[in-house]
Structure 1
């Protein structure tokens, strides 16, 4: 790749190389998703998921067609490569691909309304700095 020229776009990821570091984003992919699904004008949401939401099987709720639901989930899953802020919400909605309900579709639309307001969020990898990864989990691997 170095023989061709500097990397700018690769598999839907936009790469911007600056002297101080590298930015990775998917704003073009987000705009393509909005065009593909022909989303109407929607309100911008400050978060990808409501704090009080409790998604469950909702077997009494109105059914939603599997094909568009799975297509929406697939598009969102690809976005998680550069958008760690939506991973939890997307994975929670992905659990209901077999038997989606309208309540699950509404949760997906909340994620898209969040993306509508934050299309230019990106990952920043600065040059010349140490990288310390700190992670937390509530999993009990010793008890398993």
Structure 2
């Protein structure tokens, strides 16, 4: 359990109350929780998943130590019919599932992970090759972290973009957005739109609408 708040006395009171009801140990300031690593500095909080990512590499059992500069090739499209079916899709499914949790601190792979998820029911060789590229990219960027600045402003800013008719199978567009609170990235998503847009304008309006809804929810 993580207990946090800006009222130190209330936090202490809550911990004392819990201690009287349950057997518990106070581990002090948050350092590691469910694969999340938290570090403190004067600049703010650094959140990463380096150990969790190292565990993914061990599970993948990949001897290839090459790295990639991007998680997916530019304009690369994956199809459900390309390549040969994997004889055993278990590893593909396990690794993609692990990468889903990694997107908690790695927004840079949110798009490609969403693409790979689409093929977990019947993965093929081309999908596994794309997955290996993501792992090579992560190997070269394993030390990246999210910084939640201690000195940023209280301004809320949002950015969005859309890949119009980017999916060749159903012609639906993919919305991507990120939301900053001051200098800190606090929310992001890559998601396929629920309907087919008949123009770039329609797709862009859909992207802005979903982004605005997320901002209002925050």
TM more than 0.5:
yes
User: Is 1:99 aligned with 2:122?
Assistant: yes
* Aligned residue among 125, 133, 142 for 2:157: 133
Task: Give ranges in structure 1 of 5+ residues lacking alignment.
Answer: none
Structure showing greater Rg: 2
Cα distance, 1:99 vs structure 2: 1.0
Local SS of the residue matching 2:80:
coil
> Separation in 2 of the partners of 1:116 and 1:128?
31
> Separation in 1 of the partners of 2:75 and 2:67?
18
Partner residue, 2:104: 81
Partner residue, 2:85: 63
Which structure has the higher relative contact order (CA within 8 Å, separation 6+)? Answer: 1
Cα distance, 1:129 vs structure 2: 1.5
Task: Give ranges in structure 2 of 5+ residues lacking alignment.
Answer: 4-10, 13-25, 163-202, 209-218
Cα distance, 1:127 vs structure 2: 0.9
Local SS of the residue matching 1:134:
strand
Q: TM-score, normalised by structure 1?
A: 0.90
Local SS of the residue matching 1:75:
helix
User: Is 1:10 aligned with 2:33?
Assistant: yes
Local SS of the residue matching 1:51:
coil
Q: TM-score, normalised by structure 2?
A: 0.61
Cα distance, 1:15 vs structure 2: 0.3
Cα distance, 1:68 vs structure 2: 1.2
